[in-house]
Amino acid sequence: MSALTLSGQGKPSRRGLAVLVGLCAILVAAWLAGRAAERWALSDLRRGARSAIGLQVGVLLAEMQKQASLPLALAADPEVAAAVGPDPGRDLLDRVDRRLAQVAAATGSAVIYVIRADGLTVAASNAGEDRSFVGRDYGFRPYFKQALAGGAGSQFALGTVSGRPGLYLARRIGAGTGVVVVKVEFDAVEAAWRAAREVTFVTDARGIVLVTSEPNWRFDTLHAVDAAERARIEAGQEFGAARLERLPIHPVAGEPDVVRVGRGSVPAWTAIQSQAPVPGTDWQLRTLTPVGTAVERERLQAWIIAALVTALAGYGLFTLADRGRRTRARLAEAAARRAELESSVEARTRALRETNAQLRAEIAERQRAEAERERLGRELAQAGRLAALGQFAASMAHEINQPLAAIRSYADNAAILIRRGRGEDAAENAAAIGRLTDRIAGLTRQLKGFARRASPRREPVLLREVVANALELVAARAAALQVLLEADRPAPELRVLGDGPRLEQVLVNLLQNAIDAVAGGAEARVCLRLVESGERVAIEVADTGPGIPAEVRGQVFDAFFTTKADGLGLGLAISRGIVEDCGGNLILAGGDGAGTVFRMEMIRAADAVPSVGKPVGATP
Instruction: Round to whole Å and give the CA distance between 190 and 217.
Output: 12
- pLDDT at position 93 over 80: yes
Q: Is the dihedral of CA 242, 126, 89, 102 positive or negative?
A: positive
Average pLDDT on 50-67 reads 79
Average pLDDT on 511-539 reads 90
Task: Tell me the pLDDT band of 542, cut-offs 50, 70 and 90.
Answer: very high
What does the pLDDT read at residue 615? 34
Task: Tell me the pLDDT band of 600, cut-offs 50, 70 and 90.
Answer: very high
Instruction: Round to whole Å and give the CA distance between 489 and 130.
Output: 56
What does the pLDDT read at residue 617? 31
Whole-number average pLDDT of the chain: 79
What is the percent of the chain with per-residue pLDDT over 70, rounded to a whole number?
79
Nearest CA to 275 among 289, 285, 261, 283? 285
pLDDT tens digit sequence for 130-172: 888 888 898 888 889 989 998 998 888 888 787 788 889 999 9
**Between these two residues, 409 and 284, which has the higher pLDDT value?**
284
Contacts for 473 with CB less than 8 Å, ≥ 6 apart: 392, 395, 396, 446, 450, 504, 508
pLDDT tens digit sequence for 7-17: 444 445 667 77
Instruction: Round to whole Å and give the CA distance between 407 and 497.
Output: 39
* Beta carbons of 182 and 112 less than 8 angstroms apart: yes
- Burial label for 493, CB within 10 Å (0-12, 13-18, 19+), is exposed
Q: What is the pTM of this model?
A: 0.43
Nearest CA to 52 among 218, 217, 199? 199
Instruction: Round to whole Å and give the CA distance between 335 and 328.
Output: 11
The order of strands in the sheet holding 536-543 is 484-487, 525-533, 536-543, 597-603, 585-590
Q: Is the dihedral of CA 409, 413, 418, 423 positive or negative?
A: negative
**Between these two residues, 559 and 357, which has the higher pLDDT value?**
357
Average pLDDT on 80-101 reads 89
- pLDDT at position 6 over 60: no
pLDDT tens digit sequence for 166-208: 889 999 998 888 999 998 888 888 888 888 777 888 998 888 8
- pLDDT at position 222 over 80: yes
Q: Residue 87's CB: how many other CB atoms inside 10 A? A: 4
What does the pLDDT read at residue 233? 82
**What is the separation of C-alpha 155 from the centre of its chain, rounded to a whole number of angstroms?**
19
* Beta carbons of 485 and 451 less than 8 angstroms apart: no
How far CA 32 is from CA of 29, 310, 579, 595, in Å, comes to: 5, 12, 57, 67
